[in-house]
Structure formats: structure tokens, C-alpha cells
Amino acid sequence: MRFKAQIQNITTFTKFVASLTSLGPVAWVRLNENDVRFTIIPEQGTQVWAVLAIDAIFEGYTIQSAAENVINLEVPLGPLHQALKSALQATAASIRLTKKDNIPLLSITIVRNSIGNARQSASEDDDGGIGIGLSRERETTITQDVPVRVLSPSKVEGIHEPRCRDPDVHIILPPLMQLKSISDRFTKVALESRSVTAGLSAIGPRLEMAANMHGCLRLGIKTDAMKMASLWTGLDNPELDPSHLEGGMEEIQQHPSTRMKQLGGPDGQSEEGWAKVRLDGKDWGKVMSVGRLGGRVIACFCHEHALILYVYLPSERDEEESALTYYISSYSA
Amino acid sequence: MSDTQSRPMFSAVSGSARQLFLLLRCIGFSPKTRVQITEDELRFIAEEGGVMQGTAILQKALFTSFQFTPPASHVHEEGHEDGEADADKFIVFEISLSALLDTLQIFGLGDSKSSTFNRDPYTSTAFSAPVLGVTGLCRLSYASVGAPFTIVLQESGITTTSELVTYEPSSNAADIPFTRDQIAIKVIMRAAYLYDAISELASANPERLVLAADDSTFTLSASSSLGSAVVEFHRDNSRSQYASTVDQPGAGVMETFFVPEEFKQVYHFSRVVGVKKALSVASKVSVRADNQGVLSLQFMIENLEGGGVSFVDFRFIPLADDEDGSESDRDYEEGETAETADE
Amino acid sequence: MVKLTFTLTPDASARLHDALSCLGKFGDSVSFEARKDQLVLSTLNSSKSAYASFKLELGFFSAFDFASDVGQDGRFTCSIMVKALLSVFKSRAAEARGKNAGIEKCEVAVQETPEEAECRFIVKMICEHGVTKTYKLTYEPVAVVHALFDRNLATNRWVIQSSFLKEFADYFSPKAEQLDIYAEDGKATFISFTEKVMKSKSVLKHPLKTAVSVNLSDFDHFSAQEQLHIVISVKDFRSAVMHADTMNASVSAFYSSPGRPLQLAYEKDSLQCQMTLMTAGDYIGPTESDVPSAASTRPQTRGQSFSASDSRSERQNDMPPPRPSNQAIRKGLRGLGRNESSGQAASTRRVSQESDSLFVPLEESDRRWDPPDYEKVETLGWDATADNENEPHPTFRDSRIPSATDLNSNEMLEGLPPTQRISQIKGIW
């Protein structure tokens, strides 16, 4: 079993891992010849299934395993994130799967110019003592060992990405910074009001989120002392691409979102044609952590059922896109 | 909300939610606030334990439009038959202060508390902190007695509507009396100095704050298990025993210093510390105590726009001073004379 | 009566804050020891495995007046809670943040009133605009104990800019507990790790293990035995390094062998700082009777250093882990504040014995008469050459403090400042 690669886009990889870290401590990582997949399935809360195109992050990617060159690992995200953070200033960084003291590790080796570079050192060289090439003379090497567990193919074969019915409304979310800032405030309000009437309710604060096919998104919360809602208008409802649907144009005609679009007035302010979900405020706050990647986010609303977010990593190359998919269940009222 | 169509009892528009937030945050020590609306101002009164009271006054001038129609007759069924409310032409109710503050800063992340998410330079969008600030347009309204107190904020194409449930004010809501014409001490100083002094004393987490003054010095002191700390403000720098090595003419920090006779009172430290937010935004503070020892702290806060100033007012009831009962008479009866008039 | 008064500039007051804040990371209270020409602040951590001291020389003060007639031994000692002092002496940052009048000077007076129970440590901050702040703190008179460390015995030493060490510390996991330092092949390596029994389930919760490897040429000076692993607590290392970095100082390290203390020292502008830390470690010495080679910024030859690494060449990692014989390290680190379930009988292992504490009861020295533990010598590959160094002074340890029974000897108190030379104390044995 072999895996090693140069990490060429450390910043994106670090942000990617940071986004996932908020959702769960451990990820199932599946490496193969085409891509790297990170999946987090927490006992409660949002699932995320992420695909990284190899080119988006790595260089010189090599993988080998008895199981058709697929390696499945369980990786603790906190330590991985910490290790990657120390690579942000690196001149070079690489990652490989190795074993020390019988523990499998993802070992990240980081080379950076030592901070003493500016200092003049008169004595080296002539002494001829150290015998290390001059170019490496001023480098600091940092090795970060992240302990992992190797999963056998049988252990992961039963895990499948959730399936969901066609969404009623799909919409491009406003900048997540806005959305996060407002939803975090709502959650805080709800938590505060609960602490006043402490213990009365075991349920976490519920945010109500709704959108229509006329570019409107609404986020709201209700407590004993107040009712609060923010409304965005003028957002984009992306067109469905007939080439991606089996039934082509005909299926689009039948698509629930097409029917939803017929509901509600053109200004989108009517109460009809909205698809609504109820989210756990704290869990949603964790999902919003993905905003750091700065990608485009399409939200798909299945009314009273689920919210699915597709977060696309910004990339220069348009081919194989890297994306994170969040599956968020709606709570009942 | 039957009468929403008709003209609301109260409505006002401000160009700066931030301005309202800065003033109201000063009294944020309490989760609830009493709201009193008159033709000239909005008054928010918060109190704690009957010994501390903070009042933030939003004058009409802070709003671009301010309209108040006092109810023709008082509609409350129980109580208030005395017509007091009618006579004074004001309405009063209670709302959640924390909910109000959260609403006003909905577009901002509050003060300096930036999450790691926010600090990330890569996510900076047109809406990150500086732009998505609390500067937006803000409409306040109260349709009728019993209706919610409604705030509508608009910024960057986002409209946020907040409806705060209004409650009847609790029956024991009475102001802490302060006898303006029987002043035992009056010191006006730059707020930053008092802020510094209180933070200094707060680090040891003391229980009691002692305010004292004589003809030359204004003193704050506190003690805790760790020891004692005293901050002294000398009225006249040159008379200070520890004269400054740097010669600064007129260097005292107090612009008004009125102490007719030696003064000493003790207050709950944890309560007085509640003025920290006010101290941090105020330019000047007026420290007064009446002859009953009731402490009044008045904060002058410069308005963000259009010049002018606003005021936030705090009052504290003193603690019984066990060690030195000479000045203590805790019954708030009028009658003790102080031969000096205010100013 | 006033025993001691001194005056500080605002800058010195802030530097005192930094020192106190560093001391606070080791212990809850700080000991003051005044003499006619210096003030020493020190603390010993609760597990007695780390000792920090800051010597403020006369140049640190704007004025310093010590009533030397007090006490028979010309010293005044007391102890004060660190957090009380930290509420008085503010950091530069806090000072800069304050919108208030700045401090102009800081006067400290230590009073002793025999008739009153409470002793007073009085700090007066004189600020601009006629503002004064006065603090009265209580202190306890105590006998101050210092860890002794003989640098003559510390054959391994290096010097490096604090900024390097701070950078290393930044890479370590905040949860890592131990730090292994060793030199090999012209590089010095700092490995932070946590020694825990690993069950397969908990492997994923294990903190990051970080190895930082730098060229010896990054050191101002480096002469330490190759492959000598010395293990200290990451937390203590970090506390020292963070403070050294506020002073922008060069940090010197002195140590002899695992199980004996290591000292970090640095100084600047009349402030001398020393942290004496207990170590553990696993000494992988040269095989057979090889003369131990020294990794050095100016090594004479490379041949010998290779002989050591060659013997381990079967492990061809580019970053070999510090081969801890886990047991030895865990035992050895008892003194580093780890709560070991100590069902441990009086250990015959020298390493663990000595690392229990910096402070060894006198009886301990008796053990030198015990039969040598041959087994240990073999398994650990204890190097005879290194051991011999200490033979001429079998009762002397790198550190030793006067225990209570010693304190009746004033001469001894006088004669035992930190880093005392052996020759000075020979007489007492």
C-alpha cells in the first residue's frame, strides 16, 4: 500500500480540511487514481461528501494498493488541519502514507526557509564539516505525523451517499459571510432566550430557511420574546441543464422546480411557491464554515424534507470540478 | 394586530442603527428594558436588583423622522386608572433588551469579536465586516398598545424584520430617587480616566467599591483577598504628593471638582462595573452623589453624526458601610440638608 | 519598617510584568529574594520538576535601596501570589491600549511590621495628570529555595536565537506533552509527542507528533553529543521560549544526560533568566566502546558520528523517531508533572530515580552505595564514558537545594546561589 504526493495547493487544502473539521472529528478518506474523497457522517447532523480533483491540490500523486489501487483511511481532521497549517509558509510540502511503530500515519513533510536566513554565518562551508549541500543549508524541515487507521474495503462497501428526491427550489446562496453572520446572530438570540427559560426545551434552536424560484431567500427564527426574519431578493435560480437529466427538456417540464416557478408572483413576494426547511442553528453554523473556501454554493430545497448544498471549489481549470455536497435534514415543526 | 392599517402610535426612522446600538448597549447589563416613549424622546430603562438603574435616552434629534400619537385614553384594563399615563402623555412597555441589541447589530458581528472565519482574508467579500456594518437604515414602530415593537433594518439588499413581544412593565418599576439639590459630591472628568480606574480595580475582582473625596483628591478603592488597590485623582497636579515629573500646566483630569466636605460611600463593585460599556464610548462622565449616598453617573456620548451629544444615566444605591457608619442613613428620607447648591 | 524600596521605569515595569507572567506559567506564587545588589524572582512548579528564576540586577532599577542590616544573612525573602502581582504590573500592550494617562514611574516598597500580622508589598504607580494608583499586597515570609545547576557538568550545550525556538514551538501541537531534543548528522531535531498507551481505537485521538529539524548552522553555537535524546516538557519549553522571545534574546541550553536537569538561560539588559527543567530521555549511545562523538557546529571529523548512526542504519527513515523505549520514558518523566499511578517501588533505575524531582532528599545520596544495576547499563546502552564524568563527585547532582535541615547553616545559605561552582561547596561533605 503506497500513497504519496506533493501538496501543491496548501492554502486550499488547509481551508478544505478546516471546513470539514467543524462537522466531525474524523473523516473517511478514500484515495484512488482519479480523485480524493472526504466523507463525514456524524451520528447526528449534517453529512458531507466531498470530492477533490487530484490536480486541484496535488502534484506527483502516486497510489498503489492491492485493492485496485484504492486506499480507505480514517483520518482525524483536527491533527490533519493543524499539520497543514504549519505548511502554509512552506517552500515545499508533501504527504505520504507510512508506518512507524506499527501505527499507520499520514506523514506530512514541510520544508521552509529557516527564519535565520537573513543572518550572516561566516563559518560554515570551509569547515567542511556538516557536508550538506549549500542549497539546503538554510532550510528547516518539519515532519507532522497524523495517526490514521486503514479501513478494509469490506468496511466501507456498505456506505452510500444519500439519495434525495428532486428539489422543489434551487437557488444560488448569497455570500456565505452574510448568511453566516445573520444566521449565527439568530442562533445566538435563540440560545439566549432559552437560557432565560432554562431547561424547558431540550431541542436546539431551529432556524427556518425558505426559498422560492423567484430569487428570494428567507431566514427566520422565533422565540418567546421575538420573531425575526431576514429576506434576500434578486438571487439567481440556476437553469437546469437538460443534458444532465435523463428525460431532457421533457423532464425539466415535469421537474418540481418548474411547477414551483409557476407559483407566486413575479416579484417573488407572495407566500406561494416557497420551499421551506427547518435547520438546527448550531449545525448550520458548522456547515457555514465552508464559506472560507469562497466557492459558489447552490442550495436545493426539498420542501419540509431536506436541504442539499453543493459547494464548488473555485478553480482555474474547468474540467474535473472539486465539490462538497452537504446533506441537511429538515426537522419537523 | 387589528389596527395596523391605521396610523401607528409610534414610528421613527434612523439612518444609523449603529448609533442606536451604541447607546442601548450601554445599558445592556440587563436582559430586559422598560421603554418609555414621549413626544421628544425614546427612553430605555434597565435595572438590576432594585439597586442599580441605567437609562439610555434616544432624543428625537437622533431620528430623521419621529412621530408619536399618544393614546387618547388609556386602554389598560387593570391598574393605571389614575390617569397618570394620560397626563404625562407617554406610553410604557417592556421588551427584551438582548433581543433588541441583537437585532440592531444583525448586519455586523458586534465589537471586535471577529471569528476565525471572519479573519480569513480569502473570504473577504464586499460584505465582510467593514461593509456589512451596523450603519443601515432602521425603522422603529409600535402600532398600538399590546402590539409588538417592530424594527425593520435594510442594508445591502437584505431586509431584516424583527418583532419584539411587548410586556406590561412590572408594577414595582420605580426610579431610584436622586436628590439633585442635595449634592454631596460632583466631579466631571474624562470618561477614559474613570474607565481606566475601574478596570484597574476590577482585575482583583473585589466585592465593594469605595468612593471617597476630600478637598483635593477623588479616590476609588477596592480590596480583595489579593490585597487592596487605590486609584487617586488629584485635583491639582502640582499639589499632589507625588508630583508628576513632567510639568504639565493645568494637568488635573477633573474639569469640575465640587466636594463641600469629606465624602465616603461604598457600592457593589460588580454593579458599578456594569457601566464599563458606557465608559468606553463616553467622552465625559459626571460623578455625583446626593446626601443619601445615591450615586449618579452621567455619561456624555458624542453622536456619530451631525454633532450633538446623547446621555446615558446610571444610578446606584450605596451599601451600608459597616466600618464607618458616620455618614450612613440608608432610608432615603428627604430632609438632611446640604448647605451647598448644585454648581 | 521598610526593608526594600525600588523604582522602575515604565519599560522596566512592563518587563517585570513579562517575567511575572512567565513565572505564573510555572507556579502560583513567586518568591522574592533581595540582596544588596540584586533581586531574584523565582518559582518552583508543584511537581518540583521545573524551576524558573529571574535575576534583576541593579541596572534594571532606576533606584534600589535594600536595608541590608535586616536578617542575619543579608537577604530578605518573601512569597507573593503571581496573580496578585499580575493585576498590578501591566503588560506593554495593556498600557498602550489604555486611553489613560501613562505611568511615569513605579515605586515599590516592602514593609515589615513585626506587630502586625500582615506584611505589605506596596506598589505605587505614578501616572500623568496627577493620577496615582497604589496597591497593597500581602506577602508571606518564606525561605526561598533555589535549584542548583552546575554548568560545569553540563557537557552538552547550544545557543540559538529565541526566534528560532519560538517558531519550533509554534509547530507543536498544543496537546503534545513532551519534547525530545537530539542531534544527528549535522541537524538538530525537536520532536513534540505524547506518550500514551495506544489502543487501536484511540489512535485517532492521539495528538500530532511533530518533528522540526534544523541545521546546526542555525545555532550560534552547538556542541552536544550526537543522538543524545533529552526529553523535557513541551509546556515548560514553550513558557521559557515565549518569554525569551519577548526579550529577543539568545537562548543557551545546558545539559548532561537524560534524567539530569537541563537549563535554559538567557539575559538582556540586567535581567537574567534561567529555567531549570527535569529531563527524561532515552540515551542511545554509541555502540561498544566508541568514544561519544559530539555534534558540533565545528566537528572535527565525521567518521565517528557516522559510526553511531550506522549501527542503526536498518531504520532508514529520513526522520528517525526517537526510539523511545516507552517504559523508560514514562517512568523517567514522573517528575514532569504527569500523574503516574505510582505503584512503583523504589526504582532501581537510575534514570527514574533521579528524575523524580529536582530536589532530592539527602538520603538519596546514599544510594550510590547500592550495587550497580548492570541490567540497566546493558539495555539502555549507558555509555561508560559519559558516566565517568560524574564519578569524581558521586554525591553531587546537577541540582540540589538546601533542604530544611540545611537551612540552619547560614554559611551555606550564603554560599548557595544558583549556578554555584562545585569548588565552593566541597567543604560541606
Domain CATH code at residue C39:
3.70.10.10
Interface check for A175 against chain B (CB to CB < 8 A): the answer is yes
Say if the Cβ atoms of B158 and A182 lie within 8 Å: yes
The identity of residue B94, as a single letter, is E
Long-range residue pairs from B171-177, CB within 8 A, at least 24 positions apart, any chain: B171/B79, B172/B50, B173/B34, B173/B45, B173/B47, B175/B45, B175/B53, B175/B315, B176/B47, B176/B50, B176/B51, B176/B52, B176/B53, B176/B294, B176/B315, B176/B316, B176/B317, B177/B294, B177/B332
More confident residue, B297 or C329: B297
Say if the Cβ atoms of C298 and A129 lie within 8 Å: yes
- Is residue C187 domain-shared with residue C297, that is, in the same domain? yes
Q: Which of C105, C133, C138 sits opposite B229 (nearest CB)?
A: C133
Interface check for A250 against chain B (CB to CB < 8 A): the answer is no
- Alpha-carbon distance C393 to nearest alpha carbon in chain A (angstroms): 35
pLDDT tier at B90 (50, 70, 90 boundaries)? confident
* Closest-approach residue (CA) in chain B for C119: B227
* Closest-approach residue (CA) in chain C for A122: C217
Phi-psi group of C264: left, alpha or beta (phi > 0 → left; psi -120 to 50 → alpha; rest → beta): beta
Q: Which of C186, C212, C218 sits opposite A142 (nearest CB)?
A: C212
Question: Is C306 domain-assigned?
Answer: yes
Question: Is C376 domain-assigned?
Answer: no
Is a pLDDT exceeding 50 seen at residue B305? yes
Question: Is C94 domain-assigned?
Answer: yes
Say if the Cβ atoms of A227 and B163 lie within 8 Å: yes
- Is residue C327 domain-shared with residue C210, that is, in the same domain? yes
Say if the Cβ atoms of A76 and C204 lie within 8 Å: yes
- Is residue C180 domain-shared with residue C311, that is, in the same domain? yes
Say if the Cβ atoms of B228 and C136 lie within 8 Å: yes
- Alpha-carbon distance C124 to nearest alpha carbon in chain B (angstroms): 9
Contacts of A147 in chain C (CB under 8 A): 203-204, 206, 209
Phi-psi group of C319: left, alpha or beta (phi > 0 → left; psi -120 to 50 → alpha; rest → beta): beta
Which chains pack against A, by 3+ Cβ pairs within 8 A?
Answer: B, C
- Is residue C76 domain-shared with residue C164, that is, in the same domain? no
Q: What's the confidence (pLDDT) of residue B62?
A: 93
Interface check for A224 against chain B (CB to CB < 8 A): the answer is yes
Is a pLDDT exceeding 80 seen at residue C410? no
- Alpha-carbon distance A132 to nearest alpha carbon in chain C (angstroms): 8
User: Domains plus CATH for chain B?
Assistant: 10-164 (3.70.10.10), 183-327 (3.70.10.10)
Q: What is the tens place of the pLDDT at every residue in C257-293?
A: 998 999 999 999 999 999 999 998 765 444 333 344 5
Weakest-pLDDT range from A307-311, B21-25, C357-361:
C357-361
Say if the Cβ atoms of B196 and C83 lie within 8 Å: no
- Is residue C103 domain-shared with residue C241, that is, in the same domain? no
Say if the Cβ atoms of A130 and C216 lie within 8 Å: yes
Q: How many CB atoms lie within 10 A of CB A247?
A: 11
Last residue of a domain, one of C281, C310, C344: C344
Going by C-alpha positions, the residue among B52, B127, B89 that lies closest to residue B294 is: B52
- Is residue C64 domain-shared with residue C202, that is, in the same domain? no
Question: Is C405 domain-assigned?
Answer: no
Q: Are B312 and B282 in contact (CB under 8 A)?
A: yes
Contacts of A105 (CB under 8 A, 6+ apart): A97, A98, A99, A145, A146, A147, A148
Contacts of A180 in chain B (CB under 8 A): 117
Q: Is the dihedral of CA C164, C168, C174, C177 positive or negative?
A: negative
Round to whole Å and give the CA distance between B199 and B312. Answer: 19
- Is residue C12 domain-shared with residue C55, that is, in the same domain? yes
Number of domains in chain C: 2
Q: Are C129 and B248 in contact (CB under 8 A)?
A: yes
Is a pLDDT exceeding 70 seen at residue B173? no
Q: Pick the most confident of A262-271, B86-95, C167-176.
A: C167-176
Contacts of B245 in chain C (CB under 8 A): 104-105
Phi-psi group of A9: left, alpha or beta (phi > 0 → left; psi -120 to 50 → alpha; rest → beta): beta
* Closest-approach residue (CA) in chain A for B114: A181
pLDDT tier at B254 (50, 70, 90 boundaries)? confident
pLDDT tier at A196 (50, 70, 90 boundaries)? low
Q: What's the confidence (pLDDT) of residue B322?
A: 57
Identify the contact set of chain B against chain C, taking CB-CB distances under 8 A: 192-193, 195-197, 199-200, 203-204, 226-237, 240, 242, 244-246, 248, 251-253
First to last CA, chain C: 39
More confident residue, C315 or B42: B42
Say if the Cβ atoms of B106 and A227 lie within 8 Å: no
Mean pLDDT of C124-146: 88
User: Domains plus CATH for chain A?
Assistant: 2-156 (3.70.10.10), 169-329 (3.70.10.10)
Mean pLDDT over the full length of chain A = 86
Q: What's the confidence (pLDDT) of residue B1?
A: 44
- Is residue C317 domain-shared with residue C277, that is, in the same domain? yes
pLDDT tier at C207 (50, 70, 90 boundaries)? confident
Mean pLDDT of C207-218: 92
- Alpha-carbon distance A309 to nearest alpha carbon in chain B (angstroms): 18
More confident residue, B326 or B309: B309
Is a pLDDT exceeding 80 seen at residue C178? yes
Which chains pack against B, by 3+ Cβ pairs within 8 A?
Answer: A, C
Question: Is C99 domain-assigned?
Answer: yes
Question: Is C102 domain-assigned?
Answer: yes
Contacts of B152 in chain A (CB under 8 A): none
- Is residue C125 domain-shared with residue C263, that is, in the same domain? no
Question: Is C390 domain-assigned?
Answer: no
> In the A/B pair of chains, how many CB contacts fall below 8 A?
96
Last residue of a domain, one of C89, C104, C139: C139
Q: What's the confidence (pLDDT) of residue C198?
A: 56
Contacts of C167 in chain A (CB under 8 A): 115, 140
Contacts of A213 (CB under 8 A, 6+ apart): A169, A171, A237, A257, A260, A261, A263, A264, A273
Q: Are A227 and B162 in contact (CB under 8 A)?
A: yes
The set of cell numbers assigned to A181 is 453572520
More confident residue, A73 or C293: A73
- Is residue C135 domain-shared with residue C164, that is, in the same domain? no
Q: What is the tens place of the pLDDT at every residue in C338-355?
A: 333 333 333 333 333 333
Long-range residue pairs from C94-97, CB within 8 A, at least 24 positions apart, any chain: C95/C10, C95/C14
- Is residue C189 domain-shared with residue C321, that is, in the same domain? yes
- Is residue C131 domain-shared with residue C20, that is, in the same domain? yes
Q: What is the tens place of the pLDDT at every residue in B184-242?
A: 999 999 999 999 999 989 988 899 999 999 988 999 999 988 889 999 999 875 444 44
Weakest-pLDDT range from B107-111, B141-145, C149-153, C235-239:
B107-111
Interface check for A4 against chain B (CB to CB < 8 A): the answer is no
More confident residue, B251 or A4: A4
Contacts of A103 in chain C (CB under 8 A): 198, 203
Q: What's the confidence (pLDDT) of residue C87?
A: 87
More confident residue, B325 or C192: C192
Contacts of B157 in chain A (CB under 8 A): 232-234
* Closest-approach residue (CA) in chain A for C205: A76
Say if the Cβ atoms of C319 and A141 lie within 8 Å: yes
Round to whole Å and give the CA distance between C301 and C291. Answer: 13
* Closest-approach residue (CA) in chain A for B105: A185
Q: Which of B118, B127, B159 sits opposite A230 (nearest CB)?
A: B159
Question: Is C388 domain-assigned?
Answer: no
* Closest-approach residue (CA) in chain A for B96: A225
Q: Which of B195, B228, B248 sits opposite C129 (nearest CB)?
A: B248
Last residue of a domain, one of C309, C344, C379: C344
Range of the domain at C253: 156-344
Q: Which of C100, C126, C138 sits opposite B227 (nearest CB)?
A: C138
Is a pLDDT exceeding 80 seen at residue C46? yes
